Amino acid sequence: MLLSPNQEAAMGLSAFDEIKDEEEISDDPIANARVQRVGQRIAQSVGRDLPNAEWEFVVFESDELNAFALPGGKVGVYTGILKIAETDAELAAVMGHEIAHVSSRHGAERMSQQLLVLGGALLTEVGMEAKDVSEESRELIRTAYGLGTEVGLMLPYSRLHESEADAIGLRFAAGAGYDPRAAISFWRKMAAASKGEGSVPEFLSTHPSDDTRIKNLELLMPKYLPLYEQNRDKFSK
For the stretch 35-56, pLDDT in tens is 999 999 999 999 887 877 889 9
Residue 141 domain flag: no
pLDDT tens column, 149-198 = 443 444 444 667 788 888 999 999 999 999 999 999 999 998 888 764 44
Give the C-alpha separation, 221 to 171, whole Å. Answer: 10
pLDDT at residue number 156: 46
- The angle, 0 to 180 degrees and rounded to 10, between the axes of the packed helices 155-175 and 210-236 is 20
Name the catalytic one among 23, 98, 164, 202. Answer: 98
Specify the number of domains making up the chain: 1
Residue 141 has pLDDT above 70, yes or no: no
Residue 40 domain flag: yes
- The angle, 0 to 180 degrees and rounded to 10, between the axes of the packed helices 88-103 and 106-130 is 40
Residue 44 domain flag: yes
DSSP 217-234: HHHHHHHHHHHHHHHHHH
The pLDDT confidence band at residue 148, using thresholds 50, 70 and 90, is very low
pLDDT at residue number 139: 63
Residue 114 has pLDDT above 50, yes or no: yes
Give the C-alpha separation, 54 to 70, whole Å. Answer: 11
Residue 132 domain flag: no
Predicted TM-score (pTM) above 0.75: no
Residue 127 domain flag: no
Domain extent for 164: 5-107+154-236
Is there a contact between 98 and 69 (Cβ–Cβ < 8 Å)? yes
Give the C-alpha separation, 167 to 165, whole Å. Answer: 5
Residue 9 domain flag: yes
Residue 26 domain flag: yes
Residues with Cβ within 8 Å of 181's Cβ and at least 6 positions away in sequence, in order, are 89, 221, 225
Residue 204 domain flag: yes
Catalytic residue check, 129: no
